[in-house]
Amino acid sequence: MAYTVLIVDDAAFMRMMVKDILEKNGYEIAGEAKDGQEAVDLYKEVTPDLVTMDITMPEKDGIAALKEIKTFDPEANIVMCSAMGQQAMVIDAIQAGAKDFIVKPFQADRVLEAINKTLA
């Protein structure tokens, strides 16, 4: 059975890019969310194997959503996505329990490497 992934990003274009990379490599998309609150609600509903989480989003940012999901499910596999120059946020995310991070703009091989490593 394919691993399921929840894709979280406020930009539809970014969600589409990640979805395309994952589907071409045998992953199943459990759902998509456009902000942190939607991500938390959807996570509880679909309990995916992994979440790709943007850091900067409206409503609730990725780090707040990460912490909330980790409280609900300490075993959650979350890979953060950030734009260049957000090192401090990436460190916060790793300390909060993120398993890895991917820098935008995405390189397909780096996305797959982070996800495969996290699920191994």
- The model's pLDDT over 10-42, given as tens digits with 9 standing for 90+, comes to 999 999 999 999 999 999 999 999 999 999 999
The whole-number pLDDT of residue 36 equals 97
Q: Is residue 59 part of a domain?
A: yes
Report helix, strand or coil for 53.
strand
CA atoms of 109 and 33, how far apart (whole Å): 23
Q: How many domains does the chain have?
A: 1
Mean of pLDDT values over 101-105:
88
* Residue 115 maps to a domain: no
* Residue 80 pLDDT greater than 70, yes or no: yes
CATH of the domain at 50: 3.40.50.2300
Q: Is the predicted pLDDT of residue 65 greater than 90, yes or no?
A: yes
Residue 85's pLDDT is 67
Domain for residue 113, yes or no? no
pLDDT for 47 equals: 97
In the chain, count H helices and then E strands: 5, 5
